[in-house]
A and B are shown apart, each in its own frame.
Chain A
């Protein structure tokens, strides 16, 4: 297992959203625009990176039976840091992400990586794993946010791209659009896989 593999697997091969189908709540809720998707992606990447780093350092000192509560405390501390920093420097973004900033704690990707990877591996592979997973998560959020913002609002990152004649499909930035686009993306990746297997 090379270090490059630990980093790159999170981006496509084991992409947390499109492959592992983890962390669905923030995925669906915050992808109404590209800006929200990037903000959420960066916050989650920060928490994944930091918690993987700390957990891989302390893993031998943590008794096996109470490791999950310990991991949760570590993750919750980093989420609190991200929450406070975002509230201080990006208040508008913090407001539009709302309740989903504290809810990064219960994002299954983070506890999943802590349990499945950082608790068993050394520091360097763990931070690369966290970084790769975080970037994969961010890219997947971006893919969803892009489609929803273009179709639902006619803009990318707030700039109009489809011209004034375009009548926005409001449903795409409402909750049903999130489910629909994610379902179609998952179907698309299944289809790609099947095609590759056949050929």
Chain B
């Protein structure tokens, strides 16, 4: 039963509610980094990695620091009469957690694995302002997922993002030589292509799982 629920989350995050093409999260890197296949793959891997970590860290922050539950750390440390409700700080805390996390991951990768750093390094700073990361953490909380479900949704959302990005990069490389109207060259035609891809992904909405 548990496994089935996780499978549903994976399929939903990658195909049915694809983060880029259906939910419109992370459009800026989708348009900005999809000009070459190599950089699209690098960016995709960095996003999967950070999304999973961010889902983990913000879940802990939300349920142990902000939410009015019996686990709230402030409730225990200050011996309050009832658990405090700090959920209104969600946006501020989440963006700070993500920004810190990205910086930290960058430092760790730089120290431990220079090869990985060369591959992902330049994409990491861009990720802080990628709305897909904050988006997935807010969705985890809105849908009241537990820790495992949040982690799975984080990773699957990253895979969905990578899928859309890599497909787009492949198409845009072909587009270099295509004959298109002068005014539509560059970003406009990329958006029109995204519309066609989005129609294809709408087809997955018919899946009943």
Contact = CB atoms under 8 A, between A and B. Distances in A.
Interface of A: 21-22, 24-25, 28-29, 69, 72-73, 76-77, 79-80, 83-84, 99, 102-103, 105-108, 111, 171, 174-180, 182-184, 186-188, 190-191, 194
B183 A69 contact: no
B28 interface: yes
Given A21-B187, A28-B27, A183-B195, A175 B22 contact: yes
Given A21-B31, A175-B21, A186-B188, A99 B195 contact: no
A44 to B, nearest CB: 13
Contacts of A24: 24, 27-28, 31
Contact of B134 (A28, A106, A111, A175): A106
A28 B24 contact: yes
A183 B190 contact: yes
Given A72-B96, A175-B198, A187-B183, A103 B28 contact: no
B108 interface: no
Contacts of A179: 191-192, 194-195, 198
Interface of B: 21-28, 31, 88-92, 94-96, 99, 129-131, 134-135, 138-139, 142, 181-192, 194-196, 198-199, 202
Contact of B131 (A103, A186, A194): A103
Contacts of A190: 182-186, 188
B195 A176 contact: yes
Nearest to A21: B187
Given A99-B139, A175-B21, A191-B183, A182 B131 contact: no
Nearest to A28: B24
Contact of B183 (A99, A175, A194): A194
Given A76-B92, A99-B139, A179-B192, 5 more contacts: A83-B91, A105-B95, A105-B134, A111-B129, A171-B199
Given A22-B28, A105-B134, A80 B89 contact: yes
B138 A25 contact: no
- Binding site secondary structure of chain B: helix
A145 to B, nearest CB: 14
Contact of B191 (A83, A105, A180): A180
A183 B91 contact: no
A186 B187 contact: yes
Nearest to B194: A179
A80 B66 CA distance: 15
B61 to A, nearest CB: 14
A104 B183 CA distance: 30
A186 B191 contact: yes
A191 B89 CA distance: 45
A191 B186 CA distance: 13
B101 to A, nearest CB: 13
Contacts of A180: 191-192, 195
B99 A72 contact: yes
B100 to A, nearest CB: 8
A186 B194 CA distance: 14
Query: 3 closest Cβ contacts across the A-B interface?
Result: A183-B191, A179-B195, A24-B27
A175 B199 CA distance: 8
Nearest to B134: A106
A108 B96 contact: no
Contacts of B24: 24-25, 28-29, 175, 178
27 contacts: A22-B28, A24-B24, A24-B31, A25-B24, A25-B28, A25-B131, A28-B27, A29-B24, A69-B96, A72-B95, A76-B95, A79-B91, A80-B88, A80-B89, A99-B142, A102-B91, A103-B25, A175-B202, A176-B198, A179-B192, A180-B192, A183-B191, A183-B194, A184-B188, A190-B182, A190-B186, A194-B182
